Amino acid sequence: MFETITALLQPWADYYAEHTTLSTAVLAAHLLAMFVGGGLAIGADRRLLLAEPGTPEAYRAAAADLQAQHGLVIASLVGIVVSGLALATADAETYLTSRIYWAKMGTFALLLLNGLRMRRTEAQLLRAVANTTELSVAGPQLTLPWGALRQSAGASFALWCVVLLLGVVVANS
Ligand code: HEM
């Protein structure tokens, strides 16, 4: 099975190895997409973690700021996955058998799952705020999933950093 996969990928591996411009472009695309997507995501996570909203409007603004980053972050994730797969399949024998590579993939999967949870929580928060705009200040009636959103932002920050570190280790091991 493993031999079949590597044999099928051999023409791509040979082509990639013989064309330095292509290999440079693929690695550059991987790092650029990571830089843009990770940078935007980490910036938004940090703003959310530092925010101390006291009114429904401030909660809404904090969740809306997070929501505004999703389009570009998702586009960058697509770029990361496509370029990452191009890198991995250019040397399948090395990567498919590397534990660090699989640890990176596992951490990346956690990052994606956390992103989905974050989108759900932020939509819940926005819905809850929309139903309570007449309240002046966060009172006992206002129960918002703020703690869960902060948890996801903290996890996102940490997971981006761990995937990046594992990426460097994979490339140099
Ligand atoms: C499906 C997702 C991904 C795949 C398949 C993938 C695959 C790879 C592979 C095979 C390499 C080794 C390239 C080489 O030979 O130099 C690599 C390098 C790297 N990746 Fe990823 N990656 C993915 C996602 C990510 C993410 C999300 C990040 C950042 C948070 C990331 C950051 C890096 C870094 C920093 C390097 C090191 C580049 C270098 O020093 O040459 N990767 N990736």
Give the residue among 95, 136, 107 at the shortest CA–CA distance from 38: 107
Domain carrying residue 92: 2-171
Closest Cα to residue 107, out of 82, 80, 69?
Answer: 80
The token duo for 72 is 């570009």
The total number of structural domains in the chain stands at 1
Mutate to test the pocket of ligand 1, among 31, 82, 104 (most ligand atoms within 8 A of CB): 104
Q: What is the pLDDT of residue 5?
A: 87
> Does ligand 1 lie within 6 Å of residue 95's CB atom?
yes
- Give yes or no for residue 25 CB within 6 A of ligand 1: no
Ligand 1 lined by 77 (C-beta under 6 Å): no
Query: pTM value?
Result: 0.91
User: 64-121: per-residue pLDDT in tens?
Assistant: 999 999 999 999 999 999 999 999 999 999 999 999 999 999 999 999 999 999 999 9
Q: How far is the CA of 49 from the centre of ligand 1 (A)?
A: 27
